[in-house]
A and B are shown apart, each in its own frame.
Chain A
Amino acid sequence: MATGNDPLDLKELRAFPLREPVSGRRYTLIRLETRGGLRGWGECAGTSDREFAQARQLLSGIPATAYDVAWRKLEPIPGLRAAINMAQLDIVGQHAKAPVYQVLGGPTRNKARALAPIEGAAPSDLLASLQKAQQAGYRAFSTTVPPIEWVNQGQAYIFNVRGRMEILRKNGGPNVDFVLDGAAQLAAGDASSIAAELEKFHLLWFDEPCRVSNLSALRKITDENVTPVGYGRNITNGGEFQDLLREEAADVLRPALYTYGVSQSRKIAALAETYYVAVAPYHDGGPVATAAALQLAASLPNFFIQQIPVPAGDADRQMRQAIAGDVERIRDGFAELPTAPGLGVQVNERALDKYRDRG
């Protein structure tokens, strides 16, 4: 890719598709290498050979430091640019011999609050999942609403949701907090009814109570009750975050790590700051993106919490640790910030081969 002589010019781009043995979760690590031999890592959902060839061409002649320039150039391949952004910043940090957050304005905090998704259809399964995540050190949990049968739900459904939340609080103890994930499934009217029912429950927030479509529908939810709501994991056009803020339809913005990487998430957070709106980046992938998320968290004044997947089983935990080390260790509700240069993960390339996604 490189045409000049800058040792930071990008020279090589490689992909490593991976698959977790228990959960079956797939993600792809990418590796950028500079002319001078620095290697940076990023993570995405997946990619194709054609996109890869295009990315190599677009990055030609660009130094790793020009991560904002690369972001614009890579517009035609949205699935890859967040990963490349992480990898470029990884290299910039290594070059500067400092964690990425030191490049991006220095740490604003000394640890990052962590959010664990928990699962289970039956209350007993849900509680087992809660207990497992509590044992892993989390104090805040996200749980999804039960599947819907009709477009509009009735009182039984609303009471069911409230009942599940009350069971969780009763078992979790007083210092445990919850995000309710609507998974963009509900009609706005139902979402608002549930949000109102849970006003005094004090959710951290109600995430994706419904699909981000008509802003008037979303605004109805925040006008009708005071339960905070969050949106953003599916937003691919950054301007829509401004629309949500202008319409006063969101209390938490959730730019997805795979969509916005580190540096673009920072821009969305800057937007949110002027509305006193918190940012809780969305992440449901592997440990390299977790490291990138923690760098982001450390750099943001309005960061609130980082979602970090809880491994579905021991084999998955081993895999995540084998690839990226201890970056996902949680203590008393918070993740420690990486302190090594770059993203702060030493990717073990031999382990990548072991966990390769062979389709």
Chain B
Amino acid sequence: MLAQAPLGAGAFEKVGTKVRVTGMKVFGVSLTPDSDRPYVFVKLETNQGIVGWGEATLEGKAGAVIACVSDFKEFIMGCDPMQVEHHWQSMYVHSFYRAGPVMGSAISGIDQALWDIRGKILGMPVYKLLGGPHDPLGVRGYYHARANTPEQLQALRHQAKSLGITAFKSGIPGYYEWIETNAKITRAVRQIQMLRENLGPEIDIGVDFHAKTSPSVASIIVKEVEPLNLLFIEEPCPPENMKAMARVARRSTTPIATGERLVASYSCQQLIEMGAADILQCDINHVGGITALWKVAAMAEPSGISIAPHACEGPIGGLATLHVDAASPNFLVQEICSGVQPEMKEEVWEEWLGFPAMRMVNGRFPLPDKPGLGFDLQESALAKFPFGGTKPMARVFHEDGSVAEW
């Protein structure tokens, strides 16, 4: 083995604490046996009796993430949980192969749990450790517009008004080849026009292209909906080629949001430098937890770029992201993959945590005031939802049988 300084806590005897991580557990949690996105939760235990929870859910690849979290066990056992930045660096750098969504999600789960412990030890919610909150009323959020007709959208508009909700997100219909027909482009444009016409002029509208479109097709649609002043168009094209994303951004005034598939702050550097995005949407469960999401926000701020973090997994990541949102001056709006009406998963979350997690009050997610991430969770509560194994996410195909993005 290569020569090195004393391992872990040994090197920090004079400046560290006496707290040590004594246990690490990882849970696969399937709300339904055939769920394609089981939650992956990480629990760290300490010699002080304090525990920390984090979320490492990676949609469609639960088994790989569970294994990857376990691969990090030796990095974490016996360490001082207060050294979150140090451990983050060790997990990332000492893995040699950097980033990637599996490793990014595993680091995210452990990082959140370490922050939870930090907050509990220091007696403060994490957003206070980060210098927030900028908005004491909470974190502005949006729901998904679960409405497809003008009538449903108008009903949603009235509901939003009475509930104080200020923004919704919707998508575009169907799947798109890299060059598209008049019929499909026209249908997408009309769908977006219908959103604005029926949600009214005051509600902010985000439209998620979900990387279904190529830069060529996205450019046409994004330019054509310019007069609707959307809050953003999300993922106009797939994430690998940043120049291609920049091309879409350059050809329209419509703000471009992207980033949920990106891992670690390095991955956003090019997007920022190229002016390819107006809004970054990194996901706290993939990007590298609280540590990495905070850095993404920090590096975006001087360029006038906002953050609107993606959140479509479980309640732990959802609550963790609120802390970074609350502490970021360039925070725009927080996603939750839910509708105005609570669903089965929200009931389960409330049962687990004892409060309606990730439900807005007057258009904002309330900030937790307990130390750490702000909740208590018992392992026994998860036992009702055993891990159903990894299930593939949606697999969709074009008219000729070829692979499509969904």
Contact = CB atoms under 8 A, between A and B. Distances in A.
Most buried by A among B238, B241, B403: B241
A276 B185 contact: no
B30 interface: no
A177 B214 CA distance: 18
B178 interface: yes
B398 interface: yes
Contacts of A223: 250-251
A359 B170 CA distance: 63
B155 interface: no
Nearest to B213: A276
A112 B241 CA distance: 27
Contact size range, B: 20 to 34
Nearest to A302: B178
B400 A334 contact: yes
B243 A277 contact: no
A278 B179 contact: yes
A170 interface: no
Interface stretch (A119-127, A196-204, A348-356): A196-204
Interface string A163-187: 0000001000011010000000000
Nearest to B238: A276
Contacts of B220: 199, 202, 226-228
B402 A109 contact: yes
- Chief secondary structure at chain A's binding surface: loop
A251 interface: yes
A205 B401 contact: no
Most buried by B among A110, A113, A175, A226: A226
Contacts, number: 91
Interface in A246-301: 248, 251-252, 274-278, 280, 301
Contacts of B240: 274
A111 interface: yes
Contacts of B243: 248
B57 interface: no
A222 B400 CA distance: 29
A301 B403 CA distance: 8
Contact of B216 (A113, A251, A280): A251
Contacts of B217: 228
B52 interface: no
Contacts of A157: none
Nearest to B182: A202
B400 A174 contact: no
A200 B179 contact: no
A226 B214 contact: no
Contacts of A334: 400
A304 interface: yes
A108 interface: yes
A301 B405 CA distance: 12
B174 to A, nearest CB: 14
A113 B178 CA distance: 13
Nearest to B243: A248
A305 B185 CA distance: 17
Interface string A292-327: 000000000111110000000000000000000000
B401 A204 contact: no
A202 B401 contact: no
Nearest to A227: B220
A108 B183 contact: no
B223 interface: yes
8 contacts: A107-B401, A177-B181, A202-B186, A222-B247, A226-B223, A274-B241, A278-B216, A304-B177
Nearest first, the 3 closest Cβ-Cβ pairs linking A and B are A251-B216, A278-B178, A202-B182
Interface of B: 177-183, 185-186, 214-217, 219-220, 223-224, 237-238, 240-241, 243-244, 247, 250-252, 398, 400-403
Given A175-B183, A276-B215, 11 more contacts: A110-B401, A200-B224, A204-B180, A222-B247, A274-B240, A274-B241, A275-B241, A278-B216, A302-B178, A303-B402, A304-B178
